[in-house]
């Protein structure tokens, strides 16, 4: 099952996107609909609301009068917390129940207006944000819902900012223009990303190798990595010692392959094996085979190798390498040191960039990164030595790495 979080500000046209995804076959779970369902007449939820806030929250037919409830429940923090304590567990339990009932190969779209505000993004394989220019949203709200312009702008201002939504968004859909434009974007998203993503997670499909194409530094790499790391941390739970963005995409200004290297540090590799399925289910599929780093002293005997586990991101649009290393070995520290050394030394970044471009040109016809990576490792190994000298001179420790 692929879990997709769908959100967007009021008036952005989120329902248009939700309906189109449902047409393609997505299972739509609407948080607002569930919130209404759990307090329908005759439910325990409505009875508890009446007990907490009085019969004045009911209309003449005995149904919930939402404006009356809002007037009583949002007047102070204590009342708001009481409301949340009644509503949130019921909404959560009903959502879990609905998700558990879907087919194993389903693409579930969870429509949640306050997904960003609630910090829920790591729960999903992907987060889709529908947005539109504020003036467009105001016009829609005044025309379709009869709001005044002042009320519409106040409602918009009370929600998450565009910056907050962008930080959570794996996919940003601008619905300011023609409806046909956003529908075409949704169609492409479904066919090219969601369907193959679901299959890769469910079937544990191996990732296809890519040529060593070097890209200029992308300012969005850190935000992409942080979204992925949040999912890794959630899947790893208490077995995570730390999770970090490492490798070239973690160094500002450094050209790199458009692949995010992430590192999950665990206490032991037994812990890594214990969370392998959880990471795979979260979209970071465990790669088969024997994975290790070579020691810097050149040792290659099995007992000398720095063993690890390796997972790859199943999202076809965002390439991720997840290295799972034990805190008992040296490799996790070395990865952080190398990153921080590069960040602190622009001349080394320039030299490394030149090496990358030269080797990428030399191996552009190989079809894979294997030979490129083998030749590049000589520069990296020499860099490790210089990085250790830098660490001794500056007093760097892993506690400084962030």
pLDDT value for 210: 67
- Check whether 15 is labelled as a binding-site residue: yes
Q: Quick one: tokens of 165?
A: 């939504």
Q: Is 301 exposed, middle or buried (0-12, 13-18, 19+ CB in 10 A)?
A: exposed
pLDDT one-digit tens code per residue, 262-274:
999 999 999 999 9
pLDDT one-digit tens code per residue, 69-88:
888 887 788 888 999 899 99
Residues 183 and 307 in one domain: no
Domain of residue 98, CATH code: 3.40.50.300
Q: Is residue 256 part of a domain?
A: yes
pLDDT value for 335: 97
- Check whether 353 is labelled as a binding-site residue: no
- Check whether 12 is labelled as a binding-site residue: yes
- Check whether 142 is labelled as a binding-site residue: no
Which residue range is the domain that position 190 belongs to? Answer: 2-203
E-assigned strand segments in 211-349:
240-246, 259-266, 284-286, 291-293, 306-313, 319-326
**Domain end call among 203, 234, 254:** 203
**Domain end call among 155, 173, 203:** 203
Residues 192 and 259 in one domain: no
Q: Is residue 213 part of a domain?
A: no
Residues 354 and 257 in one domain: yes
Q: Which residue has the tokens 């294997």?
A: 370
pLDDT one-digit tens code per residue, 348-369:
999 999 999 988 888 776 666 7
Q: Is residue 312 part of a domain?
A: yes
pLDDT one-digit tens code per residue, 177-219:
999 999 999 999 999 999 999 999 999 988 776 666 889 999 9
In angstroms, rounded to a whole number, what is the distance separating the alpha carbons of residues 351 and 337?
18
Q: Is residue 196 part of a domain?
A: yes
Domain of residue 323, CATH code: 3.30.460.10
**Cβ contacts of 266 within 8 Å, gap of 6 or more:** 236, 239, 240, 241, 272, 275, 324, 325, 326, 327
Residues 270 and 182 in one domain: no
Residues 64 and 161 in one domain: yes
- Check whether 11 is labelled as a binding-site residue: yes
Number of domains in the chain: 2
- Check whether 14 is labelled as a binding-site residue: yes
pLDDT one-digit tens code per residue, 111-163:
998 899 999 999 999 999 999 999 999 999 998 888 888 888 988 888 889 99
pLDDT value for 184: 97
Among candidate residues 286, 271, 279, the one with its CA nearest the CA of residue 332: 271
pLDDT value for 367: 60
């Amino acid at each position: 099952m692929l879990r997709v979080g769908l959100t967007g500000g009021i008036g952005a046209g989120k329902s248009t996107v939700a309906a189109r995804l449902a047409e393609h076959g997505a299972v739509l779970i609407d948080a607002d609909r569930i919130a209404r369902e759990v307090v329908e007449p005759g439910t325990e939820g409505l009875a508890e609301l009446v007990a907490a806030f009085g019969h004045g929250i009911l209309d003449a037919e005995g149904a919930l009068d939402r404006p009356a409830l809002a007037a009583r429940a949002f007047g102070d923090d204590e009342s708001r917390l009481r409301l949340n304590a009644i509503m949130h567990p019921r909404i959560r339990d009903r959502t879990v129940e609905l998700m558990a009932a879907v087919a194993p190969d389903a693409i579930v779209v969870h429509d949640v207006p306050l997904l960003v505000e609630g910090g829920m993004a790591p729960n999903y394989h992907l987060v889709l944000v529908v947005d539109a220019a504020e003036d467009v949203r105001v016009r829609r709200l005044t025309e379709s819902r009869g709001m005044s312009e002042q009320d519409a702008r106040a409602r918009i201002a009370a929600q998450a900012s565009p910056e907050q939504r962008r930080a959570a968004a794996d996919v940003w859909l601008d619905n300011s223009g023609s409806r046909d434009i956003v529908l075409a974007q949704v169609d492409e998203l479904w066919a090219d990303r969601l369907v193959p993503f679901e299959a890769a997670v469910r079937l544990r499909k191996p990732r296809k190798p890519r040529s060593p194409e070097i890209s200029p530094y992308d300012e969005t790499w850190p935000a992409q990595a942080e979204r992925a790391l949040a999912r890794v941390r959630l899947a790893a739970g208490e077995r995570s010692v730390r999770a970090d963005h490492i490798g070239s995409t973690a160094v500002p200004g450094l050209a790199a392959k458009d692949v995010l290297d992430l590192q999950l540090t665990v206490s032991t590799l037994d812990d890594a094996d214990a969370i392998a399925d959880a990471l795979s289910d979260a979209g970071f599929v465990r790669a088969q085979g024997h994975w290790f780093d070579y020691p810097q002293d050149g040792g290659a005997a099995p007992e000398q190798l720095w063993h690890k586990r390796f997972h790859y991101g199943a999202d076809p649009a965002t390439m991720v390498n997840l290295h799972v290393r034990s805190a008992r070995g040296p490799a996790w520290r070395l990865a952080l040191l190398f990153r921080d050394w590069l960040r602190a030394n622009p001349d080394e970044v320039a030299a490394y960039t030149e090496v990358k471009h030269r080797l990428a040109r030399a191996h552009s016809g190989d079809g894979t990164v294997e030979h490129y990576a083998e030749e590049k490792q000589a520069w990296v190994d020499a860099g490790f030595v210089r990085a250790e000298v830098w660490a001794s001179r500056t007093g760097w420790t892993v506690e400084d790495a962030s």
